[in-house]
Amino acid sequence: MAHYIKVALIGNPNTGKTSVFNALTGLNQKVGNYPGITVEKKEGRCRLDRTTVAQILDLPGTYSLNASSMDESVVIELLLNRNNKDFPDLVVVITDIENLKRNLLLFTQIKDLGIPTLLVVNMADQMKRKGIQIDIEKLQEKLGTQVILTSMRNQEGIATLKKAIIDYRKLPSTPLLELESIDKDYFQQLKKAFPTESIYKLWLVITQDVNFSKVERNRIQKSPDFKIESDAALKRLQQKETIRRYQIINDTLKQSYHVDQNAASDWRSRLDRVLIHKVWGYVFFFALLLLIFQSIYDWSSVPMDLIDSSFAQLSEWVNTKLPPGLFTSLLAEGIIPGLGGIVIFIPQIAFLFLFISLLEESGYMSRVVFLMDRGLRRFGLSGKSVIPLISGTACAIPAVMATRNIENWKERLLTILVTPFTTCSARLPVYLILISLVIPEKTFLGINIQGLTLMGLYLLGFVMALLSSWILKKYFKTTHKSYFVVEMPNYKMPLLKNVGITVLEKTKSFVTEAGKVILAISILLWLMASFGPGKDFSDAEAIVKQQATKQLSPAVLEAKIAAYRLEHSYMGILGKAIEPVIRPLGYDWKIGIALISSFAAREVFVGSLATIYSVGSEEETPIKNKMAQETRADGSLIFDLPTGISLMLFYAFAMQCMSTLAIVKKETNSWRWPMLQLGLMTIIAYVSAFGAYQFLS
């Protein structure tokens, strides 16, 4: 029977904590959220020897136990609560070789909690190039723990780390700081009031507004033997604690850590002069984005087309090979297209997260965040919002998932809510066919008007995202001044293993989580389109044949029967029901059905109209020509300039698709925000489309 050890990996951001986690767990990991909150939770398993397995929890990056964010609060609350199922037997603090002094502040705090604590000094392969020398024995002696040098790039130190985890009970638990040295009277009074409790844990409860075991902040406040100081006094004591800890750290490193300043190169500063320059930084960033998204479109188009055609062929094969009936119809027209609607997004998601992971691993992403922060902050967003907003031009689904690196919950929520305004690639087929129908193919100052219209729709979406964020920030009360701090990590070559695992995990997360909702709604849409009440639906074939004034070819007859059946299906009834609402926008019930169907995926709009308009005649009339010939009862064209502009504006502002709705629900852990998002975007889309149609008519 295996023996399990619970291990928590903790460290500052950019110390290589994820690399250590991946080296230990490989693909034996899962990603979720902590209960009730949206902070990401990564867990994995590592077999240490034949009888011992480590259950490893990768905690959010934190600089200290003085919490300033939700991520850091998660760390503190776990380390104080022994009743938590994830409470660790051992904490492994990950530090990096160049920032050991800063990293050790967190280590001294965790060690003083009385939990067995290991120190891992990562990126040891940089020591020679940076002119760094470490006396490991002296460092271990001064810190009272085992210190392990690791290099994830060279796969060094992993076996030593596994052995140390097995032997964690041998680690000393002596605290590094005596709190009484900060204020003797205050902490002696605290110890007297709670003689059986850890003073340092009580101190964290007082200063961080968290609880542990049976000792709550309220109990401390009500204690007759102890009085909590004012906030200002507590701040002064915290400052004294930090100073005292750094005195211990400085004394330790003075004897064990040496840097030859002449060995360090200045290439990082030379790169930064360009990459975070107030002009050239933006030029380089937008050139890089152009390259990235061009690559995403080019590279993903091949597998996406293959997936699309493969699922279409599979549906056709099921229709021809299986006996006709309800089950075959469900499989061919509901389940298989539903699965295709999930799988077809995988190439874009994978390529987008490939590039994002490469940028993060290289250290460049922090520069982008710093560069963009000032401009976006006036809209209630932060520099970290720029990646999701621009990613949305490929697909809103990975863009919403990319908001996970925004620590501030309000800024992250704002970014999630406004990201779907940016024009995704799924809207492109809709825009292209509508522009070709209603915008003349002429040039203005040498610029194609149709191309200019398309660019305008992209810019319109981005402007609406910023405007919406500016309005919503007042609701979220984000007008207070906040301070933006971002660490500029060293540039480094990305670890391909980390990149691969990140891409795989993000893609798997989409397929397993959002995919469930997408498949369910796809089946619902099939049910609504495949069934209808009364004889108009059941006797569609006989009615169409009776109404035909001339002999029709089998293909045309089949198309007309399908269109008639769709008109009298539950979907058609719904389209007729909403027609009074959408008529002021210039739409008839057929466009209404296409609007509803396209909620599965925007590009479905064109395919829905192709079926509704009975495309499939002997002349194989293109959908564009059929739409151009469609008329209203009074003989006027349906797809004229007012209707075309109205539709383009509706699709520019309406919620992108059910996939986006599903992923927003997953990322916010609530239906409240996606429903609010759906409602507000629908209102904006409706009002814009209504105004455009009425004005142009």
297 confidence band (pLDDT: 50, 70, 90):
low
Q: Write down the pLDDT at residue 145.
A: 93
Cα 299 → chain centroid:
22
Q: Write down the pLDDT at residue 70.
A: 66
487 confidence band (pLDDT: 50, 70, 90):
low
Q: Write down the pLDDT at residue 89.
A: 94
More confident residue, 269 or 457: 457
The encoded tokens of residue 154 equal: 């060279």
> Mean of the pLDDT values across residues 535-555?
78
Q: Residue 146 and residue 163: Cα distance in Å, rounded? A: 11
Segment 167-177, tens digit of pLDDT: 999 998 888 98
Contact 48, 89 (CB under 8 A): no
Contact 540, 565 (CB under 8 A): yes
Q: Write down the pLDDT at residue 479.
A: 46
More confident residue, 280 or 489: 280
pLDDT surpasses 60 at 91:
yes
pLDDT surpasses 60 at 448:
yes
Q: Which of 5, 213, 196 is nearest to 89 (CA)?
A: 5
369 confidence band (pLDDT: 50, 70, 90):
confident
Q: Write down the pLDDT at residue 158.
A: 92
Q: Write down the pLDDT at residue 197.
A: 80
Strand, coil or helix: what is 213? coil
Mind giving me the DSSP string for 378-395? TTT--GGGHHHHHHTTT-
pLDDT surpasses 80 at 187:
yes
> Mean of the pLDDT values across residues 498-508?
81
Segment 142-179, tens digit of pLDDT: 999 999 999 888 888 999 999 999 999 999 888 898 88
Location of structure tokens 């690559």: 295
What are the residues whose beta carbons fall under 8 Å from the beta carbon of 524, sequence distance 6 or more?
none
Buried/exposed 321-356: b ≥16 CB within 10 Å, e otherwise: eeeeeeeeebbbbbbbbbbbbbbbbbbbbbbbbbbb
Dihedral over Cα of 620, 624, 629, 630: its sign: positive
Q: Residue 293 and residue 394: Cα distance in Å, rounded? A: 7
Residues in the chain: 697
> Mean of the pLDDT values across residues 117-131?
86
% of the chain surpassing 90 pLDDT:
20
Domain locations in the chain as residue ranges: 3-170, 179-239, 280-498, 517-696
The encoded tokens of residue 695 equal: 């004005």
Dihedral over Cα of 289, 295, 298, 299: its sign: negative
pLDDT surpasses 70 at 223:
no
pLDDT surpasses 60 at 626:
yes
Q: Write down the pLDDT at residue 116.
A: 94
Q: Write down the pLDDT at residue 298.
A: 65
407 confidence band (pLDDT: 50, 70, 90):
low
> Mean of the pLDDT values across residues 407-420?
83
For the chain, the average pLDDT equals: 80
CATH architecture of 3-170: 3-Layer(aba) Sandwich (3.40)
Q: Report the range out of 35-49, 224-238, 578-592 with the highest average pLDDT.
A: 578-592
pLDDT surpasses 90 at 285:
no
Q: Write down the pLDDT at residue 263.
A: 55
Q: Write down the pLDDT at residue 616.
A: 31
Buried/exposed 184-221: b ≥16 CB within 10 Å, e otherwise: eebbeebbebbeebbbbbbbbbbbbebbbeebebeebe
The letter for the amino acid at 588 is D
pLDDT surpasses 60 at 118:
yes
More confident residue, 663 or 406: 663
pLDDT surpasses 80 at 310:
yes
More confident residue, 213 or 542: 542
* pTM: predicted TM-score of the whole model, two decimal places: 0.64
